[in-house]
Structure 1
Amino acid sequence: MGNNSSPYSSLPDMFVSRVAASGGREAYRYPVPDPSGGPETWQSLTWSQTRDRVRDIALGLHSLGVTSQARCAIASGTRIEWILADLAILCAGGASTTIYPTSTAPDCAYIVSDSGSMVAFAEDDEQVAKLREQRPQMPGLSKVVAFEGDAGGDDDWVMSLAELEKAGSQLAQEQPDLFDRLVSSVQPEHLATLIYTSGTTGRPKGVRLDHANWLYEAYALKDLNEELRGQGWDLIGEDDLQYLWLPLAHAFGKVMEVSQLHIGYTTAVDGRVDRIVDNLSVVRPTFMAAAPRIFEKVYNRVVMQAKEGGAAKYRIFRWAAGVADKVSRVKEEGREPAGMLAAQHRLAHKLVFAKLHDRFGEQLRFFVSGSAPLAPDIGRFFYGAGITILEGYGLTETSAGAFLTRPGDVRFGYVGLPLPGTEVRIAEDGEVMLRGPGVMRGYHNLSGATEAVLTEEGWFATGDIGELEHGRLRITDRKKELIKTSGGKYVAPQAIESRFKALCPYVANMIVHGDSRPYCVALVALDEEAITAWAKENGLGHLDYPALTKDPRVRSLVQEAVDALNRDLPRHETVKKFDVLPSELSVEEGEITPSLKMRRRAIESKYQQILDGMYGDSVHRL
């Protein structure tokens, strides 16, 4: 594994080593509801307690016939049981197949069947019902293990997690050394994870990642830690506290799970997105990874609250946001604010930014943003407010982490330098090519697809267009999403869409369209929470969401932001017309993936009539 060679043979090996080193320390923290309906409490598991539960689940799986590299699926949101099940699957010698809880029943069946999963963990009655509905399409699935709920049905196809643990506990008493033997038999080249990419086109592809891939990720972060300590920075240490809400079905979430095993920090686990902001002030983490949509929502909420406070309060907020932008740009050049700017920054902190720090729990040292581009304006607002967002870049096919901004070298619009051991080059057509120990071994059951993106020399074609500057990578767009107007001009829609979301706090998504067309137009999806709050403040509280999308005052709000966007764009990139969609984009409608990436072609196809209307004599209204 090059410079990142690991003394461990597998993730289970790393896990039991962590238990040996940190047995009595807190490993995980998770919310537990009060049976009487009171406020929920947070409970902890030490590393030793985690090992005991993982051992029992692993031996329970062994008793069900799970052997080396046998696939076991997990259909669940992020919660402590997800992590315990995943570690247990690996310790039993198996490989985890991940399924988003938002996946449809047919998609669940496709992933279970294509992966060859023999056991599936299901979060609750809803997930069990999806699997039961598709049971004829999954003949190889011999058992479903439910985290909670009643199993349903009158057969023994479904069992509870408690029942599985009980069976494993009995086996542990009968064969005390069995768990250690299973762990020691797992090798670096053994399959560890099958992650199905929530592709923006076509069926999801199963990405085969082995133990060596994940060991690389853990060790690359360790090497990066050492590199940064030499520069006076401390990234992540054993005393840190992570708040983990990311979908563990996504490679980004998985990397945060794996790095903990090596470094030994504590993780607070709760995948409920609507609880993130409230939980931050309760958990008080030192770092958290998130998708840009979370930062956009927090930013939008701050803007809305400032507006609701009246004209004077909003003027103060706009002034403070301007100070934050100036401070960020100074710091991005490697300097610290001085003189009048430093004085303004102190006042802005007192009036505006201190409340943000309170909301995030005061111990927060940094966020990590990944899975989609972060709008530079939003990054600069937080950075100037004293909250650092480090941007990462990678794909499922590269075990997630490939690039990361260094704390002392923040440049918004860039995703930083490669992790130690990862190589990058830019192909002649601008495509980013990556090589290193994190790159997948191939797609599952799709040899032709593997050969299309992976060269014999080990270079992986990412599908992203990018540029290198002093080693730092800037992603400009997806190769397949570049627009070429009928006038022959190229447009990168992602950059425009990202900029727009920073200008309009009422918007969830913008889809720029214009391929083979004379000019660019856009479809705009509003953020229901933000626009509903605005409506109440502006005498439109009687209107429901679909009615608001048609209201001329709402259209004026969007028009103002489009005008501001166009002022800074070359003429061929400006958005000449737009229309507001009647609903937010959804996973259920196939408009966005479970990891919140837009399915651009599906959206354009669904709203083809509206797009065509924007190139006619008049704008077609919804």
Structure 2
Amino acid sequence: MQINRLFDIINYQIATYDKQVAFAEKKDGSWKTYSSKDLKGIVDNLSLGFLAGGISAGDKVAIISDNRPQWNFIDLALQQIGAISVPMYPTISADDYKYIFEHAEVKMAFVGSEEIFEKAKIAIEGTSIELYSFDQIAGCNYWEEVSQKGESGNLADLEALKDNAKTDDLFTIIYTSGTTGRPKGVMLSHRNVIHNLLAVEDRMMVPKGISKALSFLPLCHIYERTGSFCFMYMGVSIYYAESMETIGDNLKEVQPQVFNTVPRLLEKVYDKIVAKGYELTGLKKSIFFWALNLGLKFEPNKSQGFWYDFQLNLANKIIFSKWREALGGNVMQINSGASALQPRLARVFWSAGIPVCEGYGLTETSPVVSASVCTLEDIRIGFVGKLVKEVQVKIAEDGEILVKGPNVMQGYFKQPDMTQEVIKDGWFHTGDIGELHEGDYLKITDRKKEMFKTSGGKYIAPQPMENKFKESTLIEQLIVVGENKNFPAALIVPSFDGLREYCKHKDIPYTSDAEMIQKPEILEKYQRELDQLNKYFGKWEQIKKFKLLPKVWGVESGELTPTMKLKRKVIHSKFADEIEELYK
């Protein structure tokens, strides 16, 4: 069966797998499941309900919610009638909601929780936008009311509309979070995303029809959304985690074969494991760190001899087996994207029998440009995988990655000038700097706009440096500064959990975060950490001075985008005094 529009996946899944569990969500302590046929019935009713409520082809409907099956129901129902979904991050401000509602000409919005409802209410003041909620909230229409309106509708009318939908039709406008300025609306067609999900299918090393995925990355981000369409196409059951806080418990309950994640989450898992290792004593502690050090030396496609293999096999039985259990015991593939994964993490997880596969892409490329082939022979640590089929990449003279293919967006909504700035002669200019190796293995080296020059004329690429320095268990976040200055410096947000562990280990009484980062012995420890990691860089790149900060950067406080990237301009502005102090 041909998939020409994304909603065709529903009938494809019924015909190919007829899943008992297409989607699942945790409700009142137990998993509520929806079969492939349940999915079809709910989505058809919603489509008819939208038509009865005055939504038609070309109309824009916003979805602002955490992950849950209802998110997908609304998305698919809108596609079937030619309406356009506008997904939004729940964490952005009411002011951003208002801007997107107005810019996209939204007619209706679906919100998840009461907190989102309160923000959306402010944003729709003075408009005719209708609000519906997934949670039952006083004073808000409930999403099932749309479905009920559709119960008396005519399915033949719906089929006619579906037949009318074309593969090149616009299906969604995704407003990118952006590290500067107002978000831009990326226009994606059915073809863009269908190409992408078919292109990554061969990179998925999990059995079709019987596997389970745990989903927790936001569906409003194209990474998780395209991933979900791919899971549906492969007959993988999607279980939605209750929240970011319950991921550990949900992994043990669901025991998935696969999940998508971002490096930050893997860093936290690793740091937690290492912290537990430090709590051990005597022989147990020695064995733990013996296994960890073996893992850190792991090379997936290179033989290290019988003795290394023998030790690693032993480490897997006595130490790493517990890591696999913590992830549910069945994980065959973890897909990591959105930012750079520390090579040492990839190394140690692969050594532990937990395949972590990196990919690379952008909202504008639907998103995947390259993805790892998840086998020991094909994985390349430090690379973001191989180019996916039908996607071309060339490296411009200044090192910028240019992309061409059926996955490249239609353009930015209502912003033809900005579209022309990034798509030239059919090539999308990513803004990332990279290299191609072995023909089609892609390596990202930095972000074009983030590189800067010191006053001595030396170029600094901050991203690889920041990634390296975050290998320290004492560093949570770090930004390299020093444009037009005579040396690079850093603002550092400590990992306060790691700092507490260190103080406990050294019998240093811990008072408060703010007090601890002023103590000379703590500052000396951080200097030693930097000295250790500075060795990996040229003399002109090395961090000469640093400032510890008492509060973690976040999305709501404005220093991070919803995909956890640093908003450099915001950080430079907020901490201008601290940066200036470093150069006095």
Residue in 1 aligned with 2:76?
A: 87
Structure 2 CA distance, aligned partners of 1:596 and 1:472? 25
TM-score, normalised by the number of residues in structure 2: 0.95
Structure 1 CA distance, aligned partners of 2:120 and 2:467? 37
Q: Aligned to 2:63, which of 74, 90, 95?
A: 74
Aligned-residue CA RMSD in angstroms?
Answer: 2.0
Does residue 176 in structure 1 map to residue 185 in structure 2? no
Change (3 A) 1:165 1:318: same
Residue in 1 aligned with 2:423?
A: 454
Change (3 A) 1:315 1:492: farther
Residue in 1 aligned with 2:452?
A: 483
Question: Per-residue CA shift, 1:81-103, capped at 9, x if unaligned?
Answer: 21222112212321111111101
Structure 1 CA distance, aligned partners of 2:288 and 2:484? 42
Question: Per-residue CA shift, 1:401-432, capped at 9, x if unaligned?
Answer: 11001123111211111111100000010000
Deviation at 1:325, TM superposition (A): 2.3
Task: Give 1:398's aligned amino acid.
Answer: T
Task: Give 1:144's aligned amino acid.
Answer: L
Structure 2 CA distance, aligned partners of 1:530 and 1:161? 44
Deviation at 1:256, TM superposition (A): 1.0
Does residue 149 in structure 1 map to residue 136 in structure 2? yes
Q: Aligned to 1:555, which of 509, 523, 529?
A: 523
Change (3 A) 1:79 1:468: same
Deviation at 1:224, TM superposition (A): 5.1
Structure 1 CA distance, aligned partners of 2:228 and 2:70? 13
Is the CA contact (8 Å cut-off) linking 2:19 and 2:235 kept in structure 1? no
Question: Per-residue CA shift, 1:567-603, capped at 9, x if unaligned?
Answer: 2221111111111112000112210001111101210
Residue in 1 aligned with 2:92?
A: 103
Structure 1 CA distance, aligned partners of 2:452 and 2:285? 37
Task: Give 1:527's aligned amino acid.
Answer: S
Is the CA contact (8 Å cut-off) linking 1:9 and 1:186 kept in structure 2? no
Is the CA contact (8 Å cut-off) linking 1:244 and 1:267 kept in structure 2? yes
Equivalent residues in 2 for 1:472-621, closer than 5 Å = 472-502=441-471, 504-532=472-500, 543-616=511-584
Residue in 1 aligned with 2:12?
A: 17
Is the CA contact (8 Å cut-off) linking 1:117 and 1:140 kept in structure 2? no
Secondary structure of 1:177's aligned partner: helix
Structure 1 CA distance, aligned partners of 2:102 and 2:138? 21
70-79 vs 317-326, greater mean Cα deviation: 317-326
Deviation at 1:497, TM superposition (A): 0.9
Deviation at 1:473, TM superposition (A): 0.8
Structure 2 CA distance, aligned partners of 1:575 and 1:613? 15
Deviation at 1:540, TM superposition (A): 6.5
Structure 1 CA distance, aligned partners of 2:293 and 2:573? 39
Task: Give 1:151's aligned amino acid.
Answer: A
Task: Give 2:441's aligned amino acid.
Answer: R
Structure 2 CA distance, aligned partners of 1:538 and 1:178? 72
Is the CA contact (8 Å cut-off) linking 1:528 and 1:584 kept in structure 2? no
Secondary structure of 1:118's aligned partner: strand
Residue in 1 aligned with 2:196?
A: 217
TM-score, normalised by the number of residues in structure 1: 0.89
Question: Per-residue CA shift, 1:507-542, capped at 9, x if unaligned?
Answer: 221101121111111111123454456566766776
Secondary structure of 2:566's aligned partner: coil
Task: Give 1:469's aligned amino acid.
Answer: H
Is the CA contact (8 Å cut-off) linking 2:200 and 2:371 kept in structure 1? no
Residue in 1 aligned with 2:339?
A: 372
Q: Aligned to 1:288, which of 259, 264, 270?
A: 259
Structure 1 CA distance, aligned partners of 2:504 and 2:94? 38
Count of residues in correspondence between the two structures: 581
Is the CA contact (8 Å cut-off) linking 1:68 and 1:92 kept in structure 2? yes
Change (3 A) 1:473 1:366: same
Change (3 A) 1:347 1:21: closer
Task: Give 1:370's aligned amino acid.
Answer: G
Residue in 2 aligned with 1:394?
A: 361
Structure 2 CA distance, aligned partners of 1:488 and 1:91? 56
Change (3 A) 1:531 1:180: farther
Is the CA contact (8 Å cut-off) linking 1:426 and 1:466 kept in structure 2? yes
Is the CA contact (8 Å cut-off) linking 2:13 and 2:19 kept in structure 1? no
Is the CA contact (8 Å cut-off) linking 1:307 and 1:313 kept in structure 2? no
Structure 1 CA distance, aligned partners of 2:387 and 2:423? 19
Residue in 2 aligned with 1:464?
A: 432
Structure 2 CA distance, aligned partners of 1:568 and 1:119? 53
Is the CA contact (8 Å cut-off) linking 1:324 and 1:385 kept in structure 2? yes
Structure 2 CA distance, aligned partners of 1:151 and 1:281? 35
Q: Which runs of 5+ in 2 are unaligned?
A: none
Question: Per-residue CA shift, 1:436-456, capped at 9, x if unaligned?
Answer: 00000100111110000001x
Residue in 2 aligned with 1:410?
A: 379
Task: Give 1:248's aligned amino acid.
Answer: L
Residue in 2 aligned with 1:427?
A: 396
Deviation at 1:21, TM superposition (A): 3.1
Is the CA contact (8 Å cut-off) linking 1:113 and 1:140 kept in structure 2? no
Residue in 2 aligned with 1:57?
A: 46
Residue in 1 aligned with 2:407?
A: 438
Give me the identity figure in percent: 32
